Amino acid sequence: MGKNAVGGLDHVGIAVHDADAAIPYYRDVLGFDLVGDEIADAPGVRLVYFDAGNALIQLVQPVRDDAPVAMWLTAHPEGLHHVCFRSDDLRQCERQLNGGGESAIFRAGRGDDAFFLDAEPNNVKIEIVGPRAG
């Protein structure tokens, strides 16, 4: 791993109650291509992806009441939820940034694995995605 712990910006996550209601602004007004729409079972969310050219915009809609983002949405209005960077070596990156405890890696969208940083600098939730193992 070089100087940077993480590589480029993968996506910006926006927490919403209803992705179907949110899609038209991003697709029809801003004109982004909708490039993904899937359920990620582990975090309990529907993930809708728009291609902004150099990065993705992700709508995150909870599909279970115990999903972390469902609980977040009980305490916050819809809005910017997290920023996600990419790593080529997710496990090393997790050890480097979160220390050597139990791994918090989960199955994320688009065939990637991911984890969230324990640190939330300036209250910013930071996710790291990388290739799925195994």
**Considering only residues 66, 121, 133, 134, which one is a binding residue for its own copies as defined by CB under 8 A?**
121
Half-sphere exposure of 46 (CA within 13 A, CB side): 14
Distances (CA, A) of 18 to 45, 47, 50, 62, 99: 11, 11, 16, 9, 35
Q: What whole-number distance in Å separates Cα of residue 50 and Cα of residue 27?
A: 8
Contact region for its own copies (CB under 8 A) — 40-48, 62-70, 71-79, 108-116? 71-79
Number of residues binding to its own copies, judged by CB under 8 A: 40
Quick check: 25 binds its own copies (CB under 8 A)? Answer: yes
Binding site for its own copies (CB under 8 A): 2-9, 12, 14-16, 22, 25-26, 29-32, 52-55, 57, 59, 77-83, 85, 97, 119, 121-124, 126
